[in-house]
């Protein structure tokens, strides 16, 4: 258990809430009419900027599409008030239409963007197309949408300028405080994990598309809410509110203010809109040039934005410490099927090139099977076929007696599989405890309003954590660990899944002799003491000889030998393969 004195984020929340309340209530007395107008619009823009920060800064999804949701909300207000007149009923229906329409649109965009196998680049392209299509739809709406002139002059809420300011600033404050608080929670750690390493998330059993689509629906709805407020206040909406340019401006505001900080997005949007209100009319072209230049410089030299730089001197007063996490043994459940792996006729090919062909293989709990062979033999490809149902071209894979079919990696994890990659595949910005908590999401749902102070781990995960010394570094950030410690952390993350089958792809790569010896003892214990089925890909034959119960030799995509290490080591076929005499070896087959 890590013993650190916790400094609750609640203290920071109260401080931020007090500042927001002070600015909200004092604004009408501090600012003149012109500045109040600017700040009210800026508050609605800042709400949209927060949604961009949540999607881009926290979860790593670069999106140009939030302007489409903002414009949808603005047009919902304008269309309802223009064509049906302003009344409490029309306001309520327009408001509901804005939120419901945004949620449906976000669901559609998410489904198109985050399907299995979609790349981040593809998702960004979809987000870029969205505002272009939305703006064109408004331009083509004729008298309904006002075409290029938009809609204006409609009746709206009868509120004073001061009341609008309190409403806009209060709404922005509430949204920012809630977003900031949630990003400090366990749920916020999931979003950071998606940004850091989406592949590892999938192999921890996390349905990444589920989280991304859900977040997009929430952010799209919030952007539409901000747009509705903007349209109701300004009384003027135009296609530019839905367009690509505004979507890009939102990204610029977030980048300049500071990504993954919430408050950076707020300050960036407010300050830039305030400065723009004074300079854009007198220096229209130069101002845009300066803004673009500042964006480029920040991306190159200050990728975190300006706010983290400004807060750096006060970091020790501001940044709360991670909560103390208590390690406890997880409740062990009895599994219906014993640990086992069975492959029948597994083939993997790229066009006419067969990387694996006719692989028939079986292993059971308590075995530590070493998969060896020269480079290009198909060892890592075989690992991928075991962990991802979409990888193989033909054949069948059974995990613990159940076929994986075409299941995604996160579903294979639910069948009892855990995979460790060749290179340390961790979350650079998360702590050791946070990384392990992500591995337990299937067993402990993430809290969106706080941080868990107890971490339940299987016995063997606890044992490995203590043997590697990571139980004393639970608050250490993964990127600050040594290479050997990162390898150990990834192994602990895999074991925290409570797997019955563990795939290990060169777990000793880059480790010192002492670290290799330590990892070897750990792996042997997993099979012999805890009954796990372990498959080990390794080039270090001496290491394999020490811990493996059985050796399988792969060559040119086929299994050429399966036996004890002594049998494999004395085989002339294996000697010729490792000597590079492949043709002679096939002749002996």
Q: Are residues 283 and 346 in the same domain?
A: no
Token readout for 118 is 């979609």
Token readout for 9 is 């984020």
Q: Is residue 87 part of a domain?
A: yes
Q: Is residue 517 part of a domain?
A: yes
- What is the model's pLDDT at position 344? 96
CB 78 within 8 A of CB 237: yes
Q: Is residue 583 part of a domain?
A: yes
Q: Is residue 447 part of a domain?
A: yes
Of 314, 332, 353, the domain-final residue? 314
Q: Is residue 1 part of a domain?
A: no
- What is the model's pLDDT at position 132? 97
Residue 589 has pLDDT above 90, yes or no: no
Token readout for 438 is 């992500």
Domain total in the chain: 2
CB 383 within 8 A of CB 419: yes
Instruction: Work out the number of other CB atoms within 10 angstroms of the CB of residue 31.
Output: 17
- What is the model's pLDDT at position 516? 84
Mean of per-residue pLDDT scores for the chain: 91
Q: Are residues 364 and 219 in the same domain?
A: no
Instruction: Write the CATH number for 236.
Output: 1.10.3470
Angle at 8 between CA 7 and CA 12, to 5 degrees: 105
Q: Are residues 266 and 345 in the same domain?
A: no
Q: Are residues 500 and 547 in the same domain?
A: yes
Query: What would the pLDDT profile of 299-311 be if each residue is shown by its tens digit?
Result: 889 888 999 888 8
b/e sequence 333-370, b meaning 16+ C-beta within 10 Å: eeeeeebbbbbeebbbeeeeebbbbebebebebbbbbb
DSSP string for residues in 138-183: HHTTTTTTTGGG-EE--------HHHHHHHHHHHHHHHHHHHHHHH
Q: Is residue 319 part of a domain?
A: no
Q: Are residues 19 and 144 in the same domain?
A: yes
Phi, psi of 90, rounded to the nearest 5 degrees? -65, -35
Residue 4 has pLDDT above 50, yes or no: no
Q: Are residues 418 and 478 in the same domain?
A: yes
Q: Are residues 19 and 129 in the same domain?
A: yes
Phi, psi of 331, rounded to the nearest 5 degrees? -70, 125
Distance (Å, whole) CA 511 – CA 481? 13
Helix, strand and coil in the chain, % to nearest 5: 60, 15, 30
Q: Are residues 352 and 298 in the same domain?
A: no
Q: Are residues 416 and 450 in the same domain?
A: yes
Q: Are residues 461 and 389 in the same domain?
A: yes
Domain that holds residue 119: 11-314
pTM for the model stands at: 0.92
Strand partners, 362: 342
Query: What would the pLDDT profile of 13-67 be if each residue is shown by its tens digit?
Result: 999 999 999 999 999 999 999 999 999 999 999 999 999 999 999 999 999 999 9
Instruction: Work out the number of other CB atoms within 10 angstroms of the CB of residue 119.
Output: 9
Going along 216-295, which residue ranges are E strands? 236-237
Q: Is residue 335 part of a domain?
A: no
Residue 588 has pLDDT above 50, yes or no: no
Q: Are residues 35 and 177 in the same domain?
A: yes
Using the structure block, give the residue that is written with the tokens 């009384």: 235
Q: Is residue 321 part of a domain?
A: no
Q: Are residues 373 and 484 in the same domain?
A: yes
Instruction: Write the CATH number for 519.
Output: 3.40.50.300
Strands 368-372 and 550-555: parallel
């Amino acid at each position: 258990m890590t013993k650190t004195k916790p400094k609750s984020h609640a203290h920071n929340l109260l401080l931020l809430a007090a500042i927001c309340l002070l600015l909200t209530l004092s604004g009408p007395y501090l600012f003149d009419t012109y500045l109040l107008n600017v700040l009210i619009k800026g508050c609605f823009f800042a709400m949209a900027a927060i949604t961009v920060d949540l999607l881009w800064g926290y979860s790593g999804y670069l999106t140009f599409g939030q302007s489409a949701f903002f414009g949808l909300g603005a047009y919902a207000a304008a269309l309802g008030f223009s064509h049906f007149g302003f009344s409490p009923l029309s306001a309520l229906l327009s408001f509901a239409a804005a939120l419901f329409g945004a949620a449906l649109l976000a669901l559609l965009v998410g489904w198109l963007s985050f399907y299995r196998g979609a790349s981040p680049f593809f998702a960004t392209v979809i987000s870029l197309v969205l505002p272009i299509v939305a703006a064109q739809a408004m331009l083509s709406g004729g008298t309904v949408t006002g075409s290029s002139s938009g809609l204006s002059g409609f009746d709206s809420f009868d509120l004073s300028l001061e009341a609008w300011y309190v409403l806009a600033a209060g709404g922005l404050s509430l949204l920012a405080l809630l977003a900031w608080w949630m990003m400090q929670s366990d749920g916020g750690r999931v979003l950071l994990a998606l940004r850091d390493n989406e592949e590892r998330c999938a192999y921890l059993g996390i349905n990444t598309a589920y989280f991304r689509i859900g977040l997009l629906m929430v952010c799209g709805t919030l952007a539409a809410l901000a747009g509705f407020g903007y349209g109701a206040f300004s009384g003027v909406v135009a296609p530019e509110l839905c367009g690509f340019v505004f979507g890009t401006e939102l990204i610029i505001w977030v980048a300049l203010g500071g990504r993954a900080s919430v408050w950076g997005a707020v300050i960036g949007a407010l300050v830039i809109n305030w400065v723009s209100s004074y300079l854009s009319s007198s220096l229209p072209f130069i101002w845009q040039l300066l803004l673009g230049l500042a964006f480029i410089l920040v991306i190159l030299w200050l990728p975190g934005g300006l706010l983290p730089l400004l807060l750096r001197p006060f970091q020790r007063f501001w940044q709360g410490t991670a909560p103390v996490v208590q390690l406890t043994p997880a409740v062990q459940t009895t599994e219906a099927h014993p640990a086992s792996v069975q492959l029948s006729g597994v083939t993997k090919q790229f066009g006419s090139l067969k990387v694996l062909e006719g692989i028939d293989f079986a292993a059971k709990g308590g075995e530590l099977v070493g998969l060896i062979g020269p480079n290009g033999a198909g060892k890592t490809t075989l690992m991928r076929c075991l962990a991802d149902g979409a990888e193989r071209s033909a054949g069948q894979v059974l995990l613990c007696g159940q076929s994986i079919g075409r299941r995604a990696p996160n579903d294979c994890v639910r069948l009892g599989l855990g995979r460790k990659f060749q290179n340390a595949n961790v979350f650079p910005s998360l702590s050791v405890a946070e990384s392990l908590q992500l591995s337990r999401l299937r067993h402990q749902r993430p809290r969106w309003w706080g941080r868990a102070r107890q971490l339940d781990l299987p016995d063997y995960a606890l044992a490995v954590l203590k043997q590697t010394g990571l139980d004393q570094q639970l608050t250490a950030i993964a990127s600050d660990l040594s290479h050997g410690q990162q390898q150990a952390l990834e192994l602990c993350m895999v074991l925290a899944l409570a797997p019955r089958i563990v795939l290990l792809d060169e777990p000793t790569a880059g480790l010192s002799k002492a670290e290799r010896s330590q990892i070897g003892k750990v792996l042997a214990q997993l099979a012999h003491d805890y009954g796990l089925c372990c498959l080990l890909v390794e080039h270090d034959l001496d290491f394999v000889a020490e811990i493996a119960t059985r050796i399988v030799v792969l060559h040119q995509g086929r299994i050429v030998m399966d036996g004890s290490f002594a049998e494999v080591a004395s085989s002339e076929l294996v000697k010729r393969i490792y000597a590079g005499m492949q043709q002679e070896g096939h002749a002996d087959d």
